[in-house]
Amino acid sequence: MVEICGIKSFVDEIESPEEIITEISHLGDPDIPSPLLQKNYSCFVEDRDRVLTLASVLSLDACRKGESLPSFELAGPRRNIYFDPVKTKCAIVTCGGLCPGINDVIRSIVLTLFYGYGVQSVFGIRYGLRGFIPDYGLPVLELSPPAVERIHEYGGTVLGSSRGPQPPERIVDALERMNVSVLFTIGGDGTFKASAKIVDEIERRGRKISVIAIPKTIDNDIFLVSKTFGFDTAVQMACEAIRCAHTEALGAPNCVGLVKVMGRYSGFIAAAATIALREVNYCLIPECDFDLDGEKGLLAHLEGRLEDRGHAVIVVAEGAGQKFFEDQPRETDPSGNVKLGDIGKFLRQRILEHFASREKEVYVRYIDPSYIVRSVPANVDDSLYCGNLGQNAVHAAMAGKTDMMVSLWNDRYVHIPLKSAILHRKRVRPNSRFWMSVLEATGQPFLKN
């Protein structure tokens, strides 16, 4: 069977479909009847159930002609599983920055393991991958249904998080000491790369330990994921900040409401919030270069906007305009990410200087809600999404699958090899329908001389 659903085109994101690996690794043949069989489940799936990698008019035509098309394995419970639930121990670790919905995923994994499969031992690893390293002296957290009963009501992660690499050899040492059969890693691109190294070390030792990744990044920049959890909540919170900026801009003559949102390399939050509100006049993202000075630069257009309307709203992603900081020393965080120049404060200063040089009065109301956006509990849509991700991660793990990520793709939950997930970073494409919607909502011109 081939699942064909959500007739969308992801050609913009997948430029070279042939480079994507689709086959999922297995620890062995699953020959244990699933406990779910006793619960009268009717939604079991098989490995031959697939979801097309590309769902477009072209691929549908090819499918009707019987051509072989690349596809992902459909997620869901299997009739037979690999791990004996009575003997299985699992571990959950959260890495990287905070994001709405992490606790929801943790809760979903724990409840599915306990109530769905009867697994009674689940460890929560404290403060990211460093929790595996004895040098830090971090005790594990015993996770059970009572322990996770209300954690979804709070932002952040009950396990704590951290950045920075840890030796995969020592991580696998810890997994062996704890007799862990399944490791769930919740994180972004860096976490996935670390997970792949952990898998390599597990295979080198010939161990039977499953590693299942759940994509977490507020920036929505993970490849081969339609949307990451927490993104809807982040856009909702960004919209609230933009509404405040718009109100402030209307409240004073020649006033600019300036909002900086998260988005190091991808401007999805800024763009989605702009489309949702349609009160934004300029949306600046990392993927689209812009100039400040010159006839076609932002400052000249902003000057004309204020003369015509008396107010303006600018939304800028944190990674936009980094060319303006090229002459400054660049530091890196523990994960190796370059610390960005503060484009929000820079724009505020340049706007004030520009109008002061022309002896024109202007006000700038600057709002940076970044830490509020990433620290709040998930909204209803994200919470539901997190629950589904956690459940499908458990189904995959118990079936003995490994070295994979659970993803939402073409409106279906699927299994994607980690090697494919870390091929690229998902970014807004300037020639996409999505970005065209931003331009239509703002009316902003091409800000390049």
Mean pLDDT of 13-19: 59
Residue 159 near residue 92 (C-beta atoms within 8 A): yes
Tell me, yes or no, whether 384 and 371 share the same domain.
no
Residue 224's closest CA among 15, 431, 398, 402? 15
Summarize pLDDT for 30-58 with one digit per residue, the tens.
999 999 998 877 789 999 999 988 765 55
Residue 434 lies in a domain: no
The pLDDT value recorded for residue 144 is 96
Is the predicted pLDDT of residue 13 greater than 60, yes or no?
no
**Percent of the residues in the chain that have a pLDDT greater than 90, as a whole number:** 82
The pLDDT value recorded for residue 338 is 77
Please give the residue that has the higher pLDDT: either 153 or 449.
Answer: 153
Residue 446 lies in a domain: no
Identify the band that residue 200 occupies on the pLDDT scale cut at 50, 70 and 90.
very high
Mean pLDDT of the chain: 91
Residue 279 lies in a domain: yes
Measure the CA–CA gap between 253 and 310, rounded to whole angstroms.
6
The pLDDT value recorded for residue 5 is 37
Measure the CA–CA gap between 397 and 113, rounded to whole angstroms.
10
Tell me, yes or no, whether 251 and 336 share the same domain.
yes
Domain that holds residue 172: 2-228+378-421
Tell me, yes or no, whether 243 and 101 share the same domain.
no
In the chain, the amino acid numbered 369 is P
- Tokens 């809600």 locate to 369
Return the active site residues: 219
Summarize pLDDT for 232-242 with one digit per residue, the tens.
999 999 999 99
Residue 334 lies in a domain: yes
**Percent of the residues in the chain that have a pLDDT greater than 70, as a whole number:** 92
The pLDDT value recorded for residue 20 is 85
Q: Are strands 80-81 and 89-94 parallel, antiparallel or unpaired?
A: unpaired
Q: Which of 351, 375, 399 is the last residue of a domain?
A: 375
Mean pLDDT of 325-350: 85
Measure the CA–CA gap between 165 and 198, rounded to whole angstroms.
11
Tell me, yes or no, whether 192 and 171 share the same domain.
yes
Measure the CA–CA gap between 35 and 132, rounded to whole angstroms.
31
Tell me, yes or no, whether 263 and 407 share the same domain.
no
pTM of the full structure:
0.91
